[in-house]
């Protein structure tokens, strides 16, 4: 069950004036996936961008686009993001986003994309236990969604560990991705708990040397022995 640790830079922290260059630069720096945050101003207060910008990111990228939908009623826009080039479509589990989580995840699969489910810090694992078999990725938010640059919530560590144990008990092996406040100092603990994909915005795009930033996160996470 061991698999390599993956690093997914979040373009929310990139320079939007040079988005294509930024995507190419983090890929050269060793990014495994490109994390793309869609914020609609309703599920979360901020608005980021929509399918047209995802299409532009796709033109610059060679790595999979890991698209995180922080939106109300993702079912209304799944197809647009799929057509824009999303490879993974991750939907929030909370009823404030979708009221029919099981159906939405099935729709992602029908669109030929990899489904993922996202849980906010206050959302219990019980909310996703009956959809776990439908997903390739479970994203555990390690900050409250909506903004980059927030502080990692260490109280999410037992949740990540329980999720990994639940998956093992069920014979399932989704990627466990963590998002929010991740940096070289936090990565060891989340990997130890069971995460295998690290999203990082500020900790990569906020640094002058992206390759060094990616390497440092990968090094600190890989020391854990699990990977």
* Cα angle for residues 103, 88, 185 (degrees, 5° grid): 120
- Which is closer to Zn ion, CB of 68 or CB of 218? 68
Catalytic residue positions, numbered: 37, 179
- Residue 182: name its binding partner from ligand DX5, Zn ion, none (Cβ under 5 to 8 Å by kind): ligand DX5
- Is 12 a binder of ligand DX5 (CB under 6 A)? yes
Least Å distance between CB 184 and ligand DX5?
12
- Is 148 a binder of ligand DX5 (CB under 6 A)? yes
150, 162, 192, 224: which one binds ligand DX5 (CB under 6 A): 150
- Is 40 a binder of ligand DX5 (CB under 6 A)? no
Which of these, 152, 135, 133, 136, lies nearest to 144 by C-alpha position? Answer: 152
- The site map against ligand DX5 for 54-73 (x = CB under 6 A) is --------------x-----
Tokens read off for 139: 């994203």
Range 220-224 contact pairs with CB under 8 angstroms and sequence separation of 24 or more? 220/184, 220/185, 220/187, 220/188, 221/5, 221/187, 221/188, 221/190, 221/191, 222/5, 222/191, 223/188, 224/188, 224/191, 224/192
Least Å distance between CB 43 and ligand DX5?
10
Residue 181 DSSP symbol: S
Q: Which residues bind Zn ion (CB under 5 A)?
A: 37, 68, 179
30, 121, 146, 184: which one binds ligand DX5 (CB under 6 A): 146
By CB under 6 A, name the binding residues for ligand DX5: 10, 12-13, 35, 37, 68, 143, 145-150, 179-182, 199-203
């Amino acid at each position: 069950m061991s698999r390599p640790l993956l690093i997914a830079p979040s373009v929310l922290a990139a320079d939007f004036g040079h988005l294509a260059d930024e995507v190419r630069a983090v890929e050269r720096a060793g990014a495994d996936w490109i994390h793309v945050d869609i914020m609609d101003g309703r599920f979360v207060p901020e608005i980021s961008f929509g399918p047209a910008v995802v299409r532009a990111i796709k033109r610059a990228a060679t790595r999979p686009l890991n698209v995180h939908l922080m939106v109300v009623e993702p079912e209304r826009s799944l197809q647009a993001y799929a057509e824009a080039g999303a490879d993974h479509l991750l939907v929030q589990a909370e009823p404030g986003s979708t009221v029919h989580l099981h159906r939405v995840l099935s729709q992602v699969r029908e669109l030929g994309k990899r489904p993922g489910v996202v849980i906010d810090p206050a959302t219990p694992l019980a909310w996703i236990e009956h959809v776990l078999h439908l997903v390739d990725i479970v994203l555990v938010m390690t900050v409250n969604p909506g903004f980059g640059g927030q502080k990692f919530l260490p109280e999410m560590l037992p949740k990540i560990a329980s999720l990994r144990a639940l998956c093992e008990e069920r014979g399932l092996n989704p990627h466990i991705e963590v998002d929010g406040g991740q940096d070289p100092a936090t990565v060891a603990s989340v990997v130890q708990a069971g995460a295998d994909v690290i999203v990082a915005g500020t900790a990569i795009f906020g640094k002058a040397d992206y390759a060094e930033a990616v390497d440092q996160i990968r090094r600190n996470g890989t020391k854990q022995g699990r990977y």
